[in-house]
Amino acid sequence: MDHLDRFLRRIAIVIGWSVALIIAFATLSPLGGRPHLPETGPDIERFFAFALLAAALAIAYPQRRGMVLALTIGLAIGLETAQLLEPTRHGRPHDAVIKSLGAFAGMALAIISDRLTRRLRRAH
């Protein structure tokens, strides 16, 4: 592994765990305190948040991608369940499914990116 790979993995670790904390805060905070992206709906926000989370952690931990996917989906289900403890929020299976689909998409993106990078390196 060269210096660039190590550097990118370190960045992916910081991004991945930061996104996990932001997702937890946004999911468990009262509805009025939840951050929103302009011009998007909540399903799009959920999907892309979990896609970014899974992609970053899959890049950070390429030898543990199965575990990353399982933990990301577990986080989606766990946070939806935890929303039942916040009176202004509601955990819904639909939301967990959207988040899980985002996790699968992020994982796929990381795998495709990794394979393309390897092919480009072999070509040079």
pTM assigned to the model = 0.91
Joined together, the tokens standing for residue 83 give: 């929303």
Domain residue ranges of the chain, discontinuous segments joined by +: 3-123
Q: Average pLDDT of 6-27? A: 95
Q: Average pLDDT of 98-112? A: 98
Name every residue whose Cβ is closer than 8 Å to that of residue 103 and which is 6 or more positions away in sequence: 50, 51, 53, 54, 69, 72, 73, 76
pLDDT tens profile 66-101: 999 999 999 999 999 999 888 888 889 999 999 999
Q: Average pLDDT of 112-116? A: 94
**pLDDT range class, residue 106, cuts 50, 70, 90:** very high
pLDDT tens profile 30-43: 877 666 777 788 89
pLDDT at 2 over 90: no
How far apart are the C-alpha atoms of 68 and 102, rounded to whole Å? 13
